[in-house]
Amino acid sequence: MSDTQESKNPIPAGTVTSYQDNAKTRKSRRLSKYDGAMIEFDRIWAPYGGPSEADIFREFGITREDFVGRVSTIRQQRQTAYPP
pTM: predicted TM-score of the whole model, two decimal places: 0.60
The pLDDT tens digits for 19-53 are 554 544 445 567 899 999 999 999 999 999 999 99
DSSP state of 17: P
For position 39, what pLDDT does the model report? 95
Amino acid type, 35: D
Q: In sequence order, which ranges of the chain are alpha helices (DSSP H)? A: 18-29, 33-45, 53-60, 64-81
12 CA to centre of own chain: 31
- pLDDT score for 42: 96
Q: Where are the domains of the chain?
A: 34-81
| pLDDT tens per residue across span 65-82 | 999 999 999 999 887 666
